[in-house]
Structure 1
Amino acid sequence: MIELTKLNGNIFTLNSLYIEQIQAFPDTTITLTNGKKLVVKETEIEVVKKVEQFYQKIGLTSIVAKNNQSNDGG
C-alpha cells in the first residue's frame, strides 16, 4: 500500500498492485486495472519510487528478479 495525495490535499492509501499505468498529463494520472483513474499531486517518478519501495517491503522484487533470471536461462 502506498500513501498518495489527491489534488484537493486529501491523503489516501492505494494498493499499488492494482496500478496498470502511470502518466503525467501534466498532472500525474494513475490508471487502475479496473479502468478507474486517479489524479494525484505526486510526480510520476515519486509514485514509481513509492511502488518500488512497497514491492521491496513485501518481497515482490526478489520474486520478479528470480523469474527474470529463470527466463534468461540464469
Structure 2
Amino acid sequence: MIQITRLNGTTFTLNALYIEKVESFPDTTITLTTGSKYVVLDPIDEVNRRIIEFYQSVQLLSNPHIRGEEDEE
C-alpha cells in the first residue's frame, strides 16, 4: 500500500498492485486496473518511488528474472 494525497489535501492508502498507469496532465493521475482514476497532489516521480519501494517491501522485485538478470545465483 502507498500513501497518496487527494487534491483537497486528505490522504489515503492505495494498493499499488492494482495500479495500471501513472500520468501527469499536469496533475498526477493514477489509473487502476479496475478503471478507477485518482487525481492526486503527489508528483509523478514521488508516486513512482513509492510504488517501487512497495514492490521491494513485498519482494515483488526479488525475482532475478523480473529484474532482468540472466543467471540466478
Same fold at TM > 0.5: yes
SS state at 2:62 partner: helix
2-structure distance, mates of 1:44, 1:62: 24
Rounded to whole Å, the distance in 1 between the matches of 2:45 and 2:65 is 25
1:38-49 paired onto structure 2 within 5 Å: 38-49=38-49
For 1:1-74, what aligned pairs fall within 5 Å after superposition? 1-63=1-63, 65-67=64-66, 68-69=68-69, 72=70, 74=71
3-state SS in 2 of match to 1:61: coil
> Whose helix proportion is higher, 1 or 2?
1
Query: In the TM superposition, what is the alpha-carbon distance from 1:66 to its structure 2 partner?
Result: 3.0
Off by >6 Å, runs of 4+ in structure 1: none
C-alpha distance in structure 2 between counterparts of 1:12 and 1:43, whole Å: 15
Cα root mean square deviation, aligned: 1.2
The residue type paired with residue 66 of structure 1 is H
For residues 14-71 of structure 1, give each alpha carbon's deviation from its aligned partner in whole angstroms, at most 9, with x where no partner exists.
Answer: 00000000000000000000111100100111000000001111111112x33433xx
What stretches of structure 2 of length at least 5 have no aligned partner? none
SS where residue 60 of structure 1 aligns?
A: coil
Letter in 2 for 1:23: E
Q: How many residues align?
A: 70
TM-score, structure 2 normalization = 0.88
